[in-house]
Structure 1
Amino acid sequence: MPELRLATFNCENLMMRCDFARSGLPNARDRLTEVDDALVAEQVDAVFDVLSEDDRTLTAQALAATGAEVCALQEVENLVTLTAFDNRYIAPWAGQPFGERVLHEGNDTRGIDVGLLSRLPVIFQRSHARATYGLLDIAPPPGASVNDYAFRRDCLEVDIQKDGRALTLFVCHFKSMHGGRKRTAPIREAEARAVRRIIEQRFDRPADEEWVILGDFNDYWEVDGQSVSPHGLGPLLDDDFAVDLASRSIPDPFERWTHHYNGDGTYGALDHMFLSPRLAALNPAPEVKIIRSGVPYIADRYQGFRFPGIGWKIPKASDHCPMAATLRFEGRDVSL
C-alpha cells in the first residue's frame, strides 16, 4: 500500500514582479496566465523577482520542512510565479524543485489562485472555477444568483499517482472572513456544498472511495476546544461525509491552530485536510504535523524553534502554518 506525504499551505500573497522588457518574449505579460505554456514560465522566471526576498525564503523553508511529496498551495498569482518559487526558493532548501506544477486561473479579483507542487506524476487535473450554482444544482447564498460562480477562487481537482495507484485531491481556498465571520459564513457554506456536489458527481459512492479535500477554508467550528457557531463547513462534516484529520489526530485542541489573527489574538484552525470515510479508515492514527517555525513572534503561544530572520510581525513565512500528514492509500489501479 503506497504512503504519501501530503501538505497544504497558504503562502500569503505569493505574487511576482517581472521586468518584461528584459524577458525578450513577445506579449510576455499577456501570456503569464497561459497555464500550459511551460516554456514561457521557465523563460520569464529568469527575470522574475518576488515582492519580499526575506518572506519568500522563509516561505520556502516552511514548505521544505513539511517533507511533502505533494503540497496544495493557496494565494499563488500564476504558473510563472509558482515555477519561479519552485526553482529559486524551494530547490535550495529541499534539495531539488518539486518539478510538477499545476495552477489554473481562478475567480479571485486579486489574482490569487490555488495550485499544486508535486514530486509525483499528476495524471489528471481539472479546474472548477467556472462552475456556477446553477450548473451544480445547489442553492446560492443570500445575495447571489444561480448564474454566479460557486467558488471565490477555485476547487482544483487532481489525481496523483504513486506505485501505480491514484489518489484524488480537491484543493480549495474558501471566501475570507472579510466583512465579518458570521456574515460571510453562508458563502463558505455554499462553497462547501459545491465541493461536496463535485465529489458526489465524480464518485457514485463517495464514502467508499479515497479522496482528500484540503486547503484554506477560512473558517473553524471550534477554538481551543470550545464550539463556535455558526460556521460554513457543515456540508463537509455533516452526516460523516468527510473526516477532519487534525481534529481526530491532534488530541490537544490548543495545538490544532494553523493561523494567528493579530486583530483579536485568535488562534484558529483555518487550514484543514478532510478525508473520505474509507481513507480515514485506512489511516486510524496518521502522523499529522503543523509547522510553526515560520510564524512571527507576535504569535507568542508558540515558543518553539523559529527560522533565523523571523520578525515580530515581519518577515515571516506566512500568516498561516503549513500542515502535513503521511497517509496510506490503496487508490485506483492506473498501472495498466
Structure 2
Amino acid sequence: MKLAAYNVENLFDRAKIMLLEEWEDGREVLEDFAEANQILGQPVYDAAAKARLAELLIELGLEKSDEASYVLLRRNRGELLKRPSDGGIEIIAERRADWVGSLELKEAPVNHESMLNTARVIKEIDADVLGIVEAESRPVLSQFSKDIITAVGGTPFDHVMLIDGNDTRGIDVGVMTKAGYPITKMISHVDDMHGNENIFSRDCPEYTIKTAGGNTLHVLVNHFKSKGYGDPRRSEARRVLQATRVNEIVSDLLDSGEKFIAVVGDLNDTPDSDALAALTAGDILKDAFHHSAFDDGGFKGTYGSCTARNKIDYLLLSPDLFGKASAGGVFRKGMWPGKRPKKWDVFDSLELPVHAASDHAAIWVELDI
C-alpha cells in the first residue's frame, strides 16, 4: 500500500491575505488578526484590553466599517463597539457575553489552474491513504475528491474524513482513503491542553485504518505551529509542546501493542531542530526520508526552494512500520521550480507561480502491510 502526505494549501477558497504573492505582505495582518481574536475571546474586557483591541481593529482597516480588505467583523447581536464621528473606535462591551459575533478573515477563490494542478498531484501519487493538510472542511474535501480529481482523470477516494480543528482560517487536517482501507475509528485531540492553551494549532486526529492486507494502521495527521508570524520564541515553544504530546500519543499506542503507526504532515520545522526533538531524536519514530529506498529527487527539502532548511513535511514511522517500507519519494511536479535554472520537472499546465498546486511537495512511502 502507499501512504502519502500533502499540504494542499486549500482547495477552493483560501484566506485572501494568504493568497498574496509575498508572505511578508500579509504577516502583520495575520498577527493583528490573531491578537485581536485572542482579546475578543477573553471573558472580561478590562481597560487595557479595550484599548489594545481598538488599536488592532483600526490597524486591520475596520475604523470606518465592519468590512476591510482582508477581514470581516460580524456583529449579530449585542454591542461590541461604536465609531465616534471624529474617528477612532471605542469598545463598549464589558465582556464576551455582551455581544454575539466574530472576527473573520475574508476568503477568495484559489486560482483555477492551481486547483487542477493540486488534483493532478493527488492523481499522480496515487496513494491508498493520503494525509491532507490545509483543507477547508470535510464537505469541501469530499467535493474536491469527487469533482476535481475526477475532472483530471483521477479516481475519487472512497473514504474522506476531516475533523474541524482550532484554527479560524479554514486550514484543517484530514485523511482520504481508497476502497479496501476503511477508517474504523477516529480520536480528536483538539481539546488537549497545556494550562489554558490548546496544544494543537489545528488538531492531531488519530485515524485507525484497516488495510487491504488485514492489518491495522494508525495515522496521526499534523500541522504544527507555523514560524510564519508571531513571536518566534512562543511559536517554537508551541511546537515543542506539540511534538512532545504527539510522542506521548505514539508511545501509548506502542505500549498498548499497536505496531503500525505513522505521524504525517507539516511540522513546520527541520529534523535537527530542538522543537521537533521529541519526535526526531529518539528511537520511537523513524523518518521515511532516511530509508535506503527513499528517493528525495536530489533535494533535501519539501517546501519552497526545497533546500535542507525547508524540510518541514514528514512521514514518521514506528519501527515495525519502517521495517515494512520498500520505496518512497518526493513529488514536486506541482511546485514552482524557479527559473534560472528550473530545479525540477513540472506539469505543462504550471506556467506561472500562481499556477503552482502548492508551495509544498507531496511525499509518499510504499508499505508492505
Aligned to 1:256: 300
Corresponding residue to 1:82 among 141, 157, 168 = 141
CA RMSD for the aligned pairs?
2.6
Which one of the candidate residues 268, 271, 278 is aligned to 1:218? 268
Letter in 2 for 1:220: T
Quick one: percent identity of the two aligned structures? 29
Which residue of structure 1 aligns with residue 335 of structure 2?
A: 295
- Residue pair 1:211, 1:275 contacting (<8 A) in 2 also: yes
The aligned counterpart of 1:280 is: 322
Does structure 2 retain, via aligned residues, the 8 Å contact 1:260–1:268?
Answer: yes
- 1:104-143 matched pairs, under 5 angstroms: 104-119=163-178, 120-133=181-194
* TM superposition shift of 1:231: 3.5
Label 1:95 to 1:63 Cα distance change in 2 as closer, same or farther (>3 A): closer
**Deviation of the 1:300 alpha carbon:** 5.8
Q: Tell whether 2:206 aligns with 1:157.
A: yes
Is the contact between residue 55 and residue 316 of structure 1 (CA under 8 Å) also seen in structure 2?
yes
Paired position in structure 1 for 2:240: 189
Partner of 2:313: 271
Map of 1:227 onto structure 2: none
Equivalent position SS for 1:232: coil
Bigger Cα displacement from structure 2, 304-313 vs 57-66: 304-313
Partner of 2:9: 12
Counterparts of 1:281 and 1:241 in 2: how far apart (Å)?
Answer: 13
Which structure would you say has the larger Rg? 2
CA distance 1:181–1:327, shift in 2 (3 Å): farther
CA contact (8 A) 2:334 2:346 kept: yes
Change over 3 Å in CA distance of 1:10–1:251 after alignment to 2: closer
Q: Structure 1 residues 251 and 5 mapped into 2: Cα distance closer, same or farther (>3 Å)? A: closer
Q: Relative CO higher for 1 or 2, CA cutoff 8 Å, sep ≥ 6? A: 1
How many angstroms does 1:238 deviate by? 2.6
Give the TM-score taking structure 1 as reference length.
Answer: 0.73
Alignment partner, residue 199 of structure 1:
250
Question: SS of the counterpart of 1:153?
Answer: coil
Residue 44 of structure 2 corresponds to which residue in structure 1? none
Does residue 177 of structure 1 match 2:220?
A: no
> For 1:256, what is the secondary structure of its paired residue?
coil
**Distance verdict in 2 for CA 1:324–1:252, change over 3 Å:** closer
* Distance in 2 between residues matched to 1:105 and 1:277, nearest whole Å: 30
User: Residue by residue, what CA displacement relative to the aligned partner does 1:126-175 show, whole Å, maximum 9, x if unpaired?
Assistant: 21111112xxxxxxxxxxxx131110001011111123221111110111
Q: Which runs of 5+ in 2 are unaligned?
A: 15-107
1:244-269 alpha-carbon deviations (Å, 9 max, x no partner)? 1113344779523111169xx87611
1:158–1:168: 8 Å Cα contact kept in structure 2? yes
**Which shifted more, 156-165 or 174-183?**
174-183
Equivalent in 216, 241, 266 of residue 284 of structure 2:
241
Provide the rounded CA distance (Å) in 1 between the counterparts of 2:340 and 2:308.
Answer: 12
Q: What is the count of residue pairs matched by the alignment?
A: 271
| Contact 2:299–2:308 under 8 Å retained in 1 | no
Residue 306 (1) aligns with residue 355 (2): no
Q: Which amino acid aligns with 1:255?
A: F
Distance 1:267 1:296, change over 3 A: farther
Give the letter aligned to residue 163 of structure 1.
G
Relative to structure 1, the CA distance from residue 201 to residue 174 in structure 2 (aligned partners, 3 Å threshold; closer, same or farther) is: same
**Does structure 2 conserve the Cα–Cα contact (< 8 Å) formed by 1:260 and 1:267?**
no
User: Are positions 1:95 and 2:95 aligned together?
Assistant: no
